[in-house]
Structure 1
Amino acid sequence: MNYTNFLKKTKSNEVSGIYCFQGTEDYLAKNTLNFLKRELIDESVLEFNSFEKDAADMTYNNLYEEIVRLPFMAKKRVIVLYNWTDLSKDLAKNYEEIEKIKDSYVLILMSSPESPKKNLSIVKTLMKYDRLVDFDMVNPIALKNWILKKFEEENKKINDAALAKFMEYLNYSKDSEFNSLYKIENEIKKLSSISSELIDVKTVDLMVNKSISSNIFNLTDAISQKNRKKAIQELNKLLNNGEEPVKILYMLSRHMINVLKIINYKNQGYKDYDIMRLVAISKFEFNKIYSYLKNFSEDKARFSLEKCMDADYILKTKKNEPNVLLFELVVSLT
């Protein structure tokens, strides 16, 4: 179940019993949990109807006492457990029994920002009844709307060009440093500290920490054009920003792998949407790679990846100076 469906069910008071929150975007999971509490429990009696605990040292009998306790002047009690896997078998074994009284409680097994092991007894049961709530990374449109809303909450406006640049620099994706809405929110608050009501491109350029992914795009673009001077400049920027050579090499290798995958899928006639899904990258990242794809043949992409793999092997097995090794790699690719 997507978390948006869970929110709809919460609004209509259709949530009850056990759910498991899973997925990488724990910002959404925590906010959904807070929304659940607000909808079911008045703040004045929250203390009597809300229970959160690390279940590592908790027995099932302790939990059962919380489950059977009736709500006090509230629609339902909300019980939240962390590190609950040791209770999995008991929860699955007694699932039907505690489902009989589900109208008095909502039990959240919190796994986000991870996902629980699928072979756990209770996870199998919850999967059967569509009670695994997914908190995946949001899509670009949802992210854009969320960012605009956050700036509005800070009484700030951001023009279209600045917003596009802001999203480009952060590159919200699995492999980016900015892979969480928490981190993006911090950047929004930092930008909102300026006195001006309007945030423009100049402000974004000055104040936003650019993700390594964003700078890697520039490096890869220069490599694709065989522009050695620009490629060396971009590599210098990454190193001067304190990026570790190992991380730079990993990100460059990852981009080359994605370039090769996209070329192969394109040659097989796949549509852009399907390629994004198969390669598991965002629309923004796909568009960035696609913009310099014309400069890469399959042979060139494969050669570049092999060079990256060779450099990685040397970096791990020999005592070469990492920065020198990276510059030699860039020279060999341009």
Structure 2
Amino acid sequence: MDYKSAARDIGKGNVSPVYVCYGSESYLLREFIGYLTQKLVEPEYREFAVSKYDLTETSLDVVLDDAQTLPFMAPKKLIVAENATFFTGAKESGKVQHQPEKLLEYMKAPPEFSVVAFTVDAEKLDERKKIVKSLKEVTIPFLPMNAESLLQWVNKQAERRSFSFAEGAADQLILYTGGGLQTLAAEIEKLSLYVGPGGTVTGESVDKLVTRSTEQNVFILIDDIVRLRLNRAFAILYDLLKQREEPVKLVLLIARQFRIVLQVKELSKQGLSHQQMASQLGLHPYAVKVAAEQGQKFAPERLEHIMAQLAELDYRMKSGKVDKVLGLEMFLMRLAS
């Protein structure tokens, strides 16, 4: 079950007694729990009819006892049980031991007045476990969106706020934020206030307003170099240096990005999708998409040569054989040529 299908069913009144929500995209997961709360419990009852538990501190027995207790002053109740690691292959590190088989017993005759939503921050569940197999129909993944879905999500958020993006500006926003929905949502809200209802966000607006981390600036710097936008690339470099970023750190971040480009290039030969590569490399699918585009500009041998150049530059910087800023500038000039 995906979260959109689950939300549609909930909207129609078809609510399951239990949901198992997992994945690293916590923003979507929180939105889903918020939607479930909105549809299940009226605002005036939420203080009494919505309970939250941390399963690293509270046993599953307590959660199930609560679920079987009639709600106070409300027709239905919602119980959110976080950190349900017993659905994964990870060892439980909390001080509380759980007995998942009791949840299986509970599911044989769940009360109509309770809904229990289990959440866990994990990329996957342990499908060998009986509890995971038994609740497969009510298991909902919340994983990072692929590039196409992410762009649709950004444009939809803009539409909800009555503004639009100029051509390329939405892609630029995703590139600048790294594709995390929590960060994107905050930046979209900022841009919405800046342009106002009916306004249009341009690339210049994104440049002016969107906050970028050092890692993201390096990511953009390399993209600009690859696309031969040298003025922009060196402007980013000098901004980073003005912020007192250490050139050796920048070299390490540049090397990391080229390593990702090389890895993506090699994995693409195996026929893996961007989503599969992202999972294997521990990256956001959008970062994989950009790395794949960057990789089209370089042969594997060229990428390996660049990695060797960066290793040599790192050594020369640390041993004082080259001025750090000059060495970084010369590397970028050679890269662009």
For 2:177, the equivalent position in structure 1 comes to: 170
Q: 1:320 to 1:185 in 2, by over 3 A?
A: farther
Q: 1:9 to 1:229 in 2, by over 3 A?
A: closer
Counterparts of 2:32 and 2:224, CA distance in 1: 43
Counterparts of 2:55 and 2:167, CA distance in 1: 46
For 2:241, the equivalent position in structure 1 comes to: 239
Q: 2:132 aligns with which of 111, 123, 126?
A: 126
| Identical columns (%) | 22
Q: Deviations over 1:260-287 (max 9, x none)?
A: 2344456x4x66xx35345326675456
Structure 1 position 246, deviation (Å): 6.4
List gaps (5 residues or longer) in structure 1.
173-178
Structure 1 position 300, deviation (Å): 1.7
TM-score where L is the length of structure 2: 0.74
2:262 is aligned with 1:252 = no
Structure 1 position 256, deviation (Å): 1.2
Q: 1:84 to 1:242 in 2, by over 3 A?
A: farther
For 2:142, the equivalent position in structure 1 comes to: 135
Contact (CA 8 Å) 2:248, 2:324: kept in 1 or not?
A: no
Query: What secondary structure, in the 3-state scheme, does the structure 1 residue paired with 2:52 have?
Result: strand
For 1:199, the equivalent position in structure 2 comes to: 200
For 2:109, the equivalent position in structure 1 comes to: 101
Q: Deviations over 1:71-98 (max 9, x none)?
A: 4676642111234555985441312321
Contact (CA 8 Å) 2:146, 2:286: kept in 1 or not?
A: no
Counterparts of 2:56 and 2:297, CA distance in 1: 54
Alignment of 1:1-334 (within 5 A): 1-71=1-71, 76-85=76-85, 90-104=98-112, 105-112=114-121, 114=122, 118=126, 125-130=131-136, 131-172=138-179, 179=180, 181-194=181-194, 196-197=196-197, 198-201=199-202, 202-210=204-212, 212=214, 215-221=217-223, 233-241=235-243, 243=245, 248-264=250-266, 268=269, 274=272, 276-280=274-278, 285=287, 288-289=290-291, 292-293=294-295, 295-309=297-311, 325=324, 327-328=326-327, 331-332=330-331, 334=334
Counterparts of 2:35 and 2:232, CA distance in 1: 49
Contact (CA 8 Å) 1:162, 1:199: kept in 2 or not?
A: no
Amino acid of the structure 1 residue aligned with 2:299? S
Structure 1 position 68, deviation (Å): 0.9
TM-score where L is the length of structure 1: 0.74
Q: 1:308 to 1:132 in 2, by over 3 A?
A: farther
Counterparts of 1:159 and 1:93, CA distance in 2: 54
Q: 1:233 to 1:57 in 2, by over 3 A?
A: closer
Contact (CA 8 Å) 2:63, 2:79: kept in 1 or not?
A: no
Q: Deviations over 1:287-314 (max 9, x none)?
A: 6445554542322201212344556678
Q: 1:118 to 1:152 in 2, by over 3 A?
A: same
Amino acid of the structure 2 residue aligned with 1:126? V
Q: Deviations over 1:176-230 (max 9, x none)?
A: xxx2x22111111222222654133232222122454654345335665899998
Structure 1 position 54, deviation (Å): 2.9
Amino acid of the structure 1 residue aligned with 2:201? D
Contact (CA 8 Å) 1:16, 1:103: kept in 2 or not?
A: no
Q: Deviations over 1:92-147 (max 9, x none)?
A: 131232113324322222223x458749x9x6512443143211112333333332
Q: 1:66 to 1:240 in 2, by over 3 A?
A: same
Amino acid of the structure 1 residue aligned with 2:169? A
Contact (CA 8 Å) 2:59, 2:97: kept in 1 or not?
A: no
* Cα RMSD, aligned residues only: 4.0
Contact (CA 8 Å) 2:174, 2:184: kept in 1 or not?
A: no
Contact (CA 8 Å) 2:20, 2:135: kept in 1 or not?
A: no
Contact (CA 8 Å) 1:219, 1:234: kept in 2 or not?
A: yes
Amino acid of the structure 1 residue aligned with 2:142? F
Structure 1 position 35, deviation (Å): 1.0
Q: Which moved more, 1:161-170 or 1:181-190?
A: 161-170
Contact (CA 8 Å) 1:314, 1:320: kept in 2 or not?
A: yes
Counterparts of 2:224 and 2:160, CA distance in 1: 39
Contact (CA 8 Å) 1:118, 1:124: kept in 2 or not?
A: no
Counterparts of 2:245 and 2:157, CA distance in 1: 29
For 1:176, the equivalent position in structure 2 comes to: none
